[in-house]
Amino acid sequence: MTVHFHEEDLPEGVLAPGPIAVDTETMGLVTRRDRLCVVQIADGNGDEHLVRFAPDSRYDAPNLKAVLADPAREKYYHFARFDLAAIQYYLGVMAAPVFCTKIASKLTRTYTDRHGLKNLVNELLNKDISKQQQSSDWGAPTLNDAQKDYAASDVRFLHAMVEIFRERLERENRTAMAEACFDFLPTRALLDIAGWEDKDIFSHEA
Tens digit of pLDDT at every position of the chain (206 positions): 799 999 999 999 999 999 999 999 999 999 999 999 999 999 999 999 999 999 999 999 999 999 999 999 999 999 999 999 999 999 999 999 999 999 999 999 999 999 999 999 999 999 998 766 667 899 999 999 999 999 999 999 999 999 999 999 999 999 999 999 999 999 999 999 999 999 889 898 86
The pLDDT of residue 134 is 66
Q: How far apart are CA 127 and CA 131, in angstroms?
A: 13
The pLDDT of residue 10 is 98
C-alpha 65 chain-centroid distance? 15
Helix (H, G, I), strand (E, B) or coil at 92: coil
Is pTM, for the whole model, over 0.85? yes
The pLDDT of residue 117 is 95
The pLDDT of residue 45 is 96
Cα dihedral value 83, 182, 191, 64, nearest 10:
40
For residue range 63-105, list pLDDT tens digits in order. 999 999 999 999 999 999 999 999 999 999 999 999 999 999 9
Q: Give phi and psi for 77, each to the nearest 5.
A: -135, 160
The pLDDT of residue 28 is 96
Domains of the chain: 3-196 (3.30.420.10)
The pLDDT of residue 66 is 98
The pLDDT of residue 130 is 74
The pLDDT of residue 30 is 96
Spell out the residues 6+ positions from residue 127 whose beta carbon is closer than 8 angstroms to its own: 121, 157
- Report the mean per-residue pLDDT for the chain: 96
The pLDDT of residue 129 is 86
The pLDDT of residue 184 is 98
Of 176, 184, 179, the closest CA to residue 202 belongs to: 184
Q: Tell me, what amino acid is at 80?
A: A
C-alpha 75 chain-centroid distance? 8
Strands 3-7 and 48-52 turn out to be parallel
The pLDDT of residue 85 is 98
